[in-house]
Amino acid sequence: MNERLTIISNAIYDDEFINLVRPNYQNYLDGQSKIPYYIHAGGDYEYVGFTDYSVNKLEKTLDSSFYKEFIVNIFNRIDNLIDIDFELWGHNNGSLIDIYAIEYVPNDPVIGTAYLWDGWVDIEFRVLDDVRENYITIVHEIGHALGLDHPNGNGFNSNYDIQDTIMSYNDNPSLEDIWFSDADIYTLQRIYGLEEDNNNNGSASFSISGTAAVGNTLSISEDSADPDGTGTLNYAWQTSSDVSNWNVTGTNSTYIVGASEEGKSIRAVLSYMDAQGFNEVVTTPASSIPFVDDGSVSFSISETAAIEKTAIAKTLTDFEALNYIASYGDLINAFGIDLTSAKTHYTNYGISEGRSLTAFSATNYLAKYSDLSAAFGNDQTLALKHYIEFGYSEGRTDSGSGSSSNLTDFEALNYIASYGDLINAFGTDLTSAKSHYTNNGKSEGRALDDFDEWGYLASNTDLMNAFGNDTTEAVKHYIFLGIKEGRKTDGFNAESYLNNYAVLKSAFGNDHTLAKKHYVENGFNEGRVF
């Protein structure tokens, strides 16, 4: 065993302190009973321990689940490591651990305490502006509630910081995951033993449902459930020409067999975390996709020496091509008034993307600006050319001066988060953000998505605990607090994450955005590393 870990463990293991705490849980050490805990939502005034406090303004904090979810996650994580179990109750009638968010009387320097009563423990934490410090206090006091002491009885012991043990008062800014250290967990296992509830009793079994043939839709059938509980499935459909080298061709729950896959084999690789916390990867039996005789070619004699090939897609007129370019800023930037490129783009991409040929109104553009109508009259072609070459970069529009762009609320939030000046100017005022983009941002070349919401969540474990995969709440947090706190958006190494797990590399290739999303939604809770 690591010598340093042993030293730290001995420093926070105090028989006298443990003997004060452990009797509270004596009847819950049978491997069957669960220690009930309760998180108080707040009230007008209450007396807890030896401190009067008001929780009026803290009710919203807990009700929003910002701290409540963090606390529940702490108990869930430690539950899987030590041989006592916990259960969140909806009342405190009989609960053994009560947790309060408090506001101490003025000038009281204490930010948290665990008060040991005869039969239960009260945990109090003071809600400060520093979210990280609040998290540290919560985990620290839960440590006391479970029997951990300050290192050698002194939280300010200079030999230790919170990276050594959460029971230290000395901060370490490099610690991002506010959680028990290895020494803390080892010590708790010394007190209560290793978790014996969780044994991996096998995985689920799956097979492909449906006929493997071109044009058919395949799905996954669960032939037998995981004895420990089948978790949320991640899908990776794979095809192979030699049943040796497999390529990922889909990641949805269903798969439509394409014409290019005739004669190949197909299988699916399912990955999930079971209810006991074990990561499972299961591969279905492979199915063969047969070749199908679609008939023979037909011939006829014709007097025509050559047949002109006509494009199925609509051939744009020059005016339509100009209007198509003017309708989209990315096309203006890419093509200018290159009509040939615009026509090709519409045929190859625009149709399938559902792009409009008339989203921009040359008539409205002329009517809005008297200098243009004086110069061009009603010539819509000249109006379109002017907008593409000059008007777009000048911030001119074809709509009324008071109108806003059709940004979604999330686009507007992301637009604000992308620029510090907009954060300072608007906060989360979406109406102002939309108007700014229309009247200023578009012509300034500002982007709508420079803020990496998935990267922000993946880089900050406390935010994943608080918000899960709610990117809207994540962006709001950055605007309100994250930028002031200097929070990272690039602290997650997506490339390393993909390279660490072959199944993810096969499923996502080099797509860093999908890697970040997977880590936030699945990988973090699965204990995956990057």
Judged against a pLDDT cut of 70, whether residue 185 lies above it is answered with: yes
- What does the pLDDT look like over 7-52, one tens digit per residue? 999 999 988 888 888 888 888 877 778 999 998 866 533 444 444 4
Total number of domains in the chain: 3
- Provide the pLDDT confidence category of residue 168 given band limits of 50, 70 and 90: very high
- What does the pLDDT look like over 419-476, one tens digit per residue? 988 988 888 888 888 888 888 888 788 887 789 999 999 999 988 988 888 898 899 9
Q: Are residues 220 and 73 in the same domain?
A: no
Q: How far apart are the first and last CA of the chain?
A: 25
> What letter represents residue 147's amino acid?
G
pLDDT of 56: 35
- What does the pLDDT look like over 209-225, one tens digit per residue? 999 988 899 999 999 98
Most confident among 40-49, 203-212, 391-400 (mean pLDDT): 203-212
Which residues have a Cβ under 8 Å from the Cβ of 445 and sit 6 or more positions away? none
Burial class (CB in 10 A: 0-12, 13-18, 19+), 4: exposed
Judged against a pLDDT cut of 60, whether residue 106 lies above it is answered with: no
pLDDT of 12: 93
Question: In the listed set 361, 394, 427, which residue is the last one of a domain according to the structure?
Answer: 394
Is 502 part of a structural domain of the chain?
Answer: no
Instruction: Decide: 474 and 457 in contact? Cβ < 8 Å.
Output: yes
Q: Are residues 168 and 227 in the same domain?
A: no
Q: Are residues 106 and 177 in the same domain?
A: yes
The rounded distance, in Å, linking the Cα atoms of 180 and 77 is 10
Residues of the chain above pLDDT 90, percent? 27
pLDDT of 219: 94
The rounded distance, in Å, linking the Cα atoms of 90 and 373 is 70
Tell me how many degrees the CA angle 485-488-492 measures, rounded to the nearest 5. 150
Pairing assessment for the beta strands 112-116 and 255-256 based on DSSP bridges: unpaired
Judged against a pLDDT cut of 80, whether residue 107 lies above it is answered with: no
> What letter represents residue 470's amino acid?
D
Instruction: Decide: 313 and 351 in contact? Cβ < 8 Å.
Output: yes
- Provide the pLDDT confidence category of residue 195 given band limits of 50, 70 and 90: confident
pLDDT of 11: 92
- What does the pLDDT look like over 111-122, one tens digit per residue? 888 888 878 898
Is 420 part of a structural domain of the chain?
Answer: no
Instruction: Output the six-digit token pair for 82.
Output: 């030590």
In this predicted structure, which of 90-104, 242-256, 402-416 has the lowest mean pLDDT? 402-416
Which of 528, 509, 413 has the alpha carbon at shortest distance from 461?
Answer: 528
Judged against a pLDDT cut of 50, whether residue 403 lies above it is answered with: no
pLDDT of 125: 83
Is 138 part of a structural domain of the chain?
Answer: yes
Q: Are residues 28 and 138 in the same domain?
A: yes
pLDDT of 312: 37
- Please give the helix or strand (H or E) that residue 252 lies within, else none: none
Per the model's pLDDT, the better-predicted residue between 308 and 133 turns out to be 133
Is 123 part of a structural domain of the chain?
Answer: yes
Which residues have a Cβ under 8 Å from the Cβ of 96 and sit 6 or more positions away? 24, 25, 28, 35, 36, 37, 119, 120, 121
Q: Are residues 104 and 178 in the same domain?
A: yes
DSSP per-residue letters across 100-124: EEE-PPTT----EEEEE-SS-EEEE
Q: What is the mean pLDDT of the chain?
A: 82
pLDDT of 358: 84
pLDDT of 371: 82
- What does the pLDDT look like over 300-340, one tens digit per residue? 554 433 333 333 346 789 999 999 998 888 889 888 999 99
Judged against a pLDDT cut of 60, whether residue 175 lies above it is answered with: yes
Judged against a pLDDT cut of 50, whether residue 60 lies above it is answered with: no
Number of H helices, E strands in the chain: 25, 15
CATH of the domain at 24: 3.40.390.10
> What letter represents residue 211's amino acid?
T
Q: Are residues 55 and 93 in the same domain?
A: yes
pLDDT of 299: 56
pLDDT of 44: 39
Per the model's pLDDT, the better-predicted residue between 101 and 207 turns out to be 207
Question: In the listed set 340, 373, 394, which residue is the last one of a domain according to the structure?
Answer: 394
- What does the pLDDT look like over 227-273, one tens digit per residue? 777 878 889 899 998 888 888 888 898 999 988 888 899 999 998 87
Instruction: Decide: 471 and 457 in contact? Cβ < 8 Å.
Output: yes
Instruction: Decide: 396 and 378 in contact? Cβ < 8 Å.
Output: no
Q: Are residues 282 and 220 in the same domain?
A: yes
- What does the pLDDT look like over 379-388, one tens digit per residue? 899 989 999 9
pLDDT of 109: 66
- What are the helix (H) ranges across 93-176? 131-145
CATH of the domain at 271: 2.60.40.2700
Q: Are residues 353 and 278 in the same domain?
A: no
Which of 167, 169, 178 has the alpha carbon at shortest distance from 14?
Answer: 167
Is 89 part of a structural domain of the chain?
Answer: yes
Which residue carries 């945990």 as its tokens? 123
Q: Are residues 281 and 377 in the same domain?
A: no
pLDDT of 400: 47
Question: CB atoms < 10 A from the CB of 306, how many?
Answer: 6
Q: Are residues 162 and 215 in the same domain?
A: no
Is 72 part of a structural domain of the chain?
Answer: yes
Residue 323's domain comprises 318-394
**What is the mean predicted confidence (pLDDT) over 477-496?**
89
Dihedral (C-alpha) 97, 100, 105, 109: value to the nearest 10 degrees? 70
Q: Are residues 166 and 220 in the same domain?
A: no
Residues of the chain above pLDDT 70, percent? 85
Q: Are residues 239 and 273 in the same domain?
A: yes
Question: In the listed set 140, 166, 192, which residue is the last one of a domain according to the structure?
Answer: 192
Is 271 part of a structural domain of the chain?
Answer: yes
